[in-house]
Amino acid sequence: MAVTGILRVGLVQIKVLDFDESLVHYRDRIGLDIVGNIDEDRIMLKTYDEFDHHSLVLHKADTAGIDFIAFKADNEKTVNKIIEKTKSEYGFDYEIMSDQPGYGEIHTFTVPTGHKIGIYNEVELAEDYPMIRNPYIWKKEPKGMAPTCFDHALLYGPDQATTVKWLTEVLGLAITEILLKEDGENHLCTWLSANTRGHDLAVLDFPEPNVLHHISFHLEDWHAVGHAADIMARYEIKIDAGPMRHGITRGQTIYFFDPSGNRNETFAGGYEFFPDHPVRIWDADHAGAGIFYYDKALNDRFLSVYS
Ligand SMILES: [Fe+2]
């Protein structure tokens, strides 16, 4: 196995205001499968093509936003090394979560951006995981926007520099792209990958802690992004931007909102990353093209609307 250490981002729990309208959005429009309830306030979901027990939890709460995001490690040794190093060198608040069905312990740290980031290595296969013997590409016809997997998240918060240092030096993630601040030196936003994707996580420097900018679902191709746009138009889903393309990661994308105000993204294409690739760097005056490659200008909502 060539990808070792942290393998990928694998689980995210977000807050929603109402289950009925959230399920219409995430189950019927995006097309996720319901795995079951954790308790009366939390519902587990996954895409048709994911092997692990579940990848998204909707948590009914009074505000939108993110509870935590978690990375899957290759084994217990990796997890223990991360716990030890974080405790001795970073001193972040630490808690063990053991209430996610199908998952072993999730070791969670509160990083300087204010987010809870978990690490785990044990997770059961989903009851309805993809076929592996003479497999069809799907058992049941995918529905809605038909995402293949949870892809990544963009988080906003203070001191992204220390958070990125921890993500690279302790978790071993690679920086794929950087957007610089006006000073031409410090990072406004950093894109990080655990594998061959353009990113598993991006972190943007922002005064307010624990902010979710978006969670993203992977679609097969540009055609699927177009089909997702048709669904958004038909069902009056509020589109933030797109269909369009990012210069950064080169993803083909649409930003849109769930009924609670959490921003979602459908993401396809993009390049394959390998750890020997040089970091791509964007100057502040090229931020427009980095995020909105065709328009070459940021819309105001991108920086000012979040959950
Ligand atoms: Fe994204």
DSSP string, 233-292: HHTT--EEEEEEE-SSTTEEEEEEE-TTS-EEEEEEE-----TTSPPEEE-GGGHHHHHS
For residue 183, the CA-to-ligand 1 centroid distance in Å is 24
For residue 218, the CA-to-ligand 1 centroid distance in Å is 10
What average pLDDT score do residues 39-52 get? 98
For residue 250, the CA-to-ligand 1 centroid distance in Å is 10
Checking if the pLDDT of 1 tops 80, the result is no
What average pLDDT score do residues 238-244 get? 95
Look at residue 297 in the predicted model and tell me its pLDDT.
86
For residue 234, the CA-to-ligand 1 centroid distance in Å is 23
Which sign does the torsion angle of CA 249, 252, 256, 262 carry? negative
Look at residue 299 in the predicted model and tell me its pLDDT.
80
Checking if the pLDDT of 298 tops 90, the result is no
What average pLDDT score do residues 67-92 get? 98
For residue 121, the CA-to-ligand 1 centroid distance in Å is 25
Instruction: Count CB neighbours of 191 within 10 A.
Output: 31
Checking if the pLDDT of 304 tops 90, the result is no
Look at residue 233 in the predicted model and tell me its pLDDT.
98
Q: Which DSSP category does 125 fall into?
A: B
Look at residue 300 in the predicted model and tell me its pLDDT.
79
What token pair was written down for 42? 């939390």
Structure-token match 């019927």, residue found:
28
Catalytic residue ranges: 152, 199, 214, 246, 255, 265
| pTM, to two decimals | 0.97
Structure confidence by residue, pLDDT tens digits, 138-178: 999 999 999 999 999 999 999 999 999 999 999 999 999 99
Checking if the pLDDT of 122 tops 80, the result is yes
Look at residue 303 in the predicted model and tell me its pLDDT.
76
Helix (H), strand (E) at residue 289: helix 287-291
CA distance 80 to 276: 26
Look at residue 68 in the predicted model and tell me its pLDDT.
99
The set of residues, in sequence order, having a beta carbon less than 8 Å from that of 307 and lying 6+ positions away, is: 15, 63, 64, 65, 66, 211, 212, 260, 261, 262, 263
* Phi, psi angle pair for 89, to nearest 5°: -105, -20
Structure confidence by residue, pLDDT tens digits, 193-231: 999 999 999 999 999 999 999 999 999 999 999 999 999
What average pLDDT score do residues 112-133 get? 97
Q: Tally the C-alpha atoms within 13 A of residue 157's C-alpha that lie toward its C-beta.
A: 23
Instruction: Count CB neighbours of 161 within 10 A.
Output: 15
Checking if the pLDDT of 232 tops 80, the result is yes
